[in-house]
Structure 1
């Protein structure tokens, strides 16, 4: 940089030494561009600022100060700017320099200002690193770039564009490249990144612009951020329009240097920018400041028409065009800058003559010298300028830590005929809002509501097509469909299978078919994309790692397969959202504990259920015995025999349904037994079903299964994993299995054979692969141990693929609507193992699932208890009535003795019975019956006598 400045100063030597510092009053040197409308507006604004400042000083009674404005044209040329600076300092006695919109100008003049100790106030937005240390007298009157880049990133994030191309002005000493760190950080915060950086010459030619834009057209990224001067932007958009890059599918976002100057552009330039989104600084003003600004703008318009009648552009007709033709922010900022510098000069009395000119050697080895007048109070003036703070016509004017105060809010505009629409505002604190006042706060003042996305601001007119939101990227330039790689040698064909149909008409080059769970998930995800996605499946013969690590997926756009997501692979490629359950499980051969197997017949019912069955059965047995013992001699002989009969009656319904009921005599006992038989049939049916399920699941003794720790400590124990999977590395690096004890297995059949034969003690598989293996061999294999937390399966993309975000979002949608679950169920149900058995093999045991308890059968038990109790109660009522009547006889026909329910005739006649209350009069030994009449109270009484002899 210093070398360039030295060369320029040598070229300007004659002009520098031709004049000496004049002693007059203090001068503010202004370097303007009188070839552009914006430069002319700035020049007039500076002149009016000087006039207003002088008048205000006289009005307040201040002593007359010799502060004047000295203007020279630099027209954006660094050499002319340096020459003008030397002339203004040496010949006009300038104490400060103002202007310089380009960084090239500012860099040259800043070196002159450092040697002359003259503050240089530059309007250049860009800045090289460490400018304050290199050029301490350079003061940038431009808003910082960091907040503006955050606003740009917020726009990008609102529409979920993942990659952005940046076009910047290719200027030396910083230029547009200085914003990249800020923009890159802001984009990363919203999940996006810079795709490429395209420099644009500061004085672009048609060929240079075509080359720069041609590089962008060849890529897939269609979101462009333009950070250049307004002059360069006009040429850039004109060329982009001619190349068809202002059509549907493109997105253009411009920064404040362009958006803030759009009002001063002519209609032809604006017409080439239709659909552009602009981010510009917003000026916040109170009522008094706004009135002052409006009056100043009216004066500036009037003077501009007077001095530049042919450059007015509005024909003096006023109207809308008159309102939009300026002057605008750059001119208003120039006005406030002159006021600030003049105020600082007044306070520091910077009207004293400069010191004698000091020779400054241009080079240590040359005898040439350039004499530059050195300001006597430049340091004091610089300090006073940086301390100025006031509310001007351009908003808050002041410096914070030596930097111009950053903007607090940005306005978003959308370029559309006739000029632009104001969409809304963005601030770092509140995000997007429709009101300049920001968000409303509870109990306080404020504007409208705020949102983190600009979508709620309303529709945006995009280039080419008004309402459709561009997706931000385009297919390959040649128009060919996206290539989707599918592996030919997948370990599990149910996930991915490539079938070649050879022999059709002798043609061996027929198109292969692509099937499997992963293929179906991909097709379902593509259907949820918001645009037509043209793709073509292409098979490859190789491993996943070879494709990802060596080819970096450069030959394909997507890899669809049962590919495991891992951090190691992320170094080479990127992965979509997982489309399967995450986790790693251990599959082992099925083995049940021998002891538990012997007692499996007890498992269908819980212990409480068995106790309840025994209690209810015993109760029913006692009830039937009581009601039946009067009619069957076997029910009356010996205590132990009666106990045996009661126990048999308790179990008869369960062990021999219907057999015992045929031997019963009493109608009441038969009714009780019928209900008990119904309950027994239901219990037996459920017991059989539960026992069958338990025998199928075969999950006894699961807790005693093999663990990873026991396998690792067992000498010679070999474990398996899928060939080509990252699981093998996980076993060695995380679970600490020696490499020689980890065997790679190919295919589900090889997994089964190795496990069943004992070649491997356990196989570690992804959850999705384990489900498939158990669906096929659920009677031979089972899972055990914990689930190890590893990622699931996903689709693979090259680094920076624009498809990644859209496909991941589509996978989430098909996950949430149940499509993936249905596809997985269809894959697993294609095999013979029942779904219940496969689920039992996966969940580590289903013994308790099939065990039945009393809560399932309360209704049945209440039915049989009620039937037995009711029958016994009826029997007791009738029995009590008969015994009461028989015991009351006296006189006449001789008494009958009744003992224990039996009655013995006193006259020696045979035992007789006429009616059995609740029973039958038939039997193996039917008793005889007779009518016995006894006198009782003068009446004849007929008694029923039951003989038990």
Structure 2
């Protein structure tokens, strides 16, 4: 078979297509120059940060259509070298499309002028002097903050601390001189004066600086603002410390250019520094950790303690990211083989520079780029980075810094910036809430949790920098884990302390106690209580009342028995009279005539007590019968367990796990986010109860206390605490602060502010606001004490009177009966007898004798008795039986004997004493 020869034209087309596809697959290379001073701290930072930022960008966006390639140039701090060896050589020889740097403002001004001629964008991350600006150079962009911005913060400090005279100490060059006019204007607006300005050349010796310090001390000024390069600032601060101008009574403020390089100037303690506010985010923490390792690798001789990523590093990182992002907008057609086209001169001819074919498009892309950078939202307004806020910090003895507050352009000085990780639903805003400004991305927070945290921070012996970051909505178990792994430095939220969570983090002492409780709807059960008439009085009051009814009846019987026929008779009749009299006083229906003043006095006091008891009982019973009696529809957790009602719980809380561990059926749990949802679900019957922690239930009942009530606590919880990583030194200090806060009145004020008064809603307790509580013995024990003491006193007086009147008979009983039982029996028999000396019996006898003397015949008396047949077995008539005999003479005799009953008994007693009839009372029978 003959071989087939391929068509050459087809091979050429195929190879061309392959080359085209390969070219399209390769990203476009965009060359960017980097000019820095390799010997300066800022240059070392830039040399590490910018390559790292590009690596991170392309790791995050591996499919980028363009790749930035850096061309490094070291200016060594020389303006001419920066311009000639740097800018010109990069633009003409290397064809760079943009330049990052130069480092100083003087170099940047020179390079910006050349770049404007060549239309090559210059993006500076460290030129902060107001003398160089996008307004002066059209192709200059500042990815850093202008020094003029911080003058407002300095003026606010002067006003806050009352500095009347403030002296600027600045470097006498373009960097320092351009800053002073803005500072003077800001101080003047704040009411402070600038008596003089102190300018120092960049190369001033230590002796010259020391001499200047002594001159300033002689002028009696106490507040100074230092705005120089790091090497000169170190000499100035050392001279001030040697001259004794760093102690009490002096104030030294350093600008952000020095604060960002604080570790390299050996700053003495007590300085007030300003630094651009950089929000701490998980991304920033990750970059910082990697940056330190890379910085130590790039600069082996550097001190690891001074390797700190300050504001210069953040600006450099974001500037490189912005250039890499803008390079994506360049197409291959925008990039000519040579960097500059149309030039008429040589490589050193400034006037004959060519123009960049991509410069205008590249500059527009850079200035229009916005993203969330390490320093916050990256956005260039009129070619300059916008400022959100400044941190106010204080240097310490160990060379570290601590934040003491913040300054915002529209908000002034403040100790906090607001915000918190996590949060509750909109209905639980009093506990913790977050608000984010959509324009500035500024997070503010409030609520009970945030206010308690900030109050505890104020009690610390040092200033704790407070910066809140809003976390995504997540269960608190996950939030705690993120604190444990370093994603967050702390969690300030309504986090319940549990054993499982404590294995990941360290909690402070609880700042609010809590427990798991249940809320159920209230129902009116007036129609379901058959024995409601017993409800007004508690059992102890019922028993006490019955006992005093009996005791009062006994006291009256004891006093009236010997002198009142209505309290005599057979034992059964006496017991009946005792009970009837005692209980009839309940309705004031007693009809017995009391003959003794002692019993009358006891009954008057007792009737007063009965009147109060009766009125109270009537009022309570009326309330129970007429006012709605609200009771929970589910009495307790046991009833909830036995029933089939579904239960509402808080979303993202630990309640689901707690209920599952208790064995409650998971199918009956319904999560909700807001108390409004609880309210609607309880009313329409979707759920029968809500089980949650008491702080949330207080918020719920504060709004809906008229229909729901807490039916009892199920069990205690660990309370709310702030979470920190394991081993955090802040845990112990904040715990002590929380204890101090809890013991003060401030905690009560905060709690009342966000939760209201603890008894502001009566429905928070079972039974509702209109339930009439049963009356107890404790409310009336004073009255019972009075009536009991009165009755007992009356009985004691009556007994003493009886003993005194019968002392001879009692003495005889004691001597003639050695057995105490016999003595007691004879004493009772003696007391049971009639007291015929009482006026009640004397009046009865006198009345009968008078009738006989008037001539009434015995037969008439007998006739009258026979005309009215009676039952002679009744005890009321037994006493008169001797009067109703068939013999009139005998009847008269009986009358006489009855009338002389007292004397007969006395004679019998005397006869028993003297049976022979002799003695004082003897007579002839």
| Band the TM-score falls in, shorter-chain normalisation | 0.3 to 0.5
- Scaled by the length of structure 2, what TM-score is found? 0.41
Which has the greater radius of gyration? 2
More helix by share: 2
- Scaled by the length of structure 1, what TM-score is found? 0.40
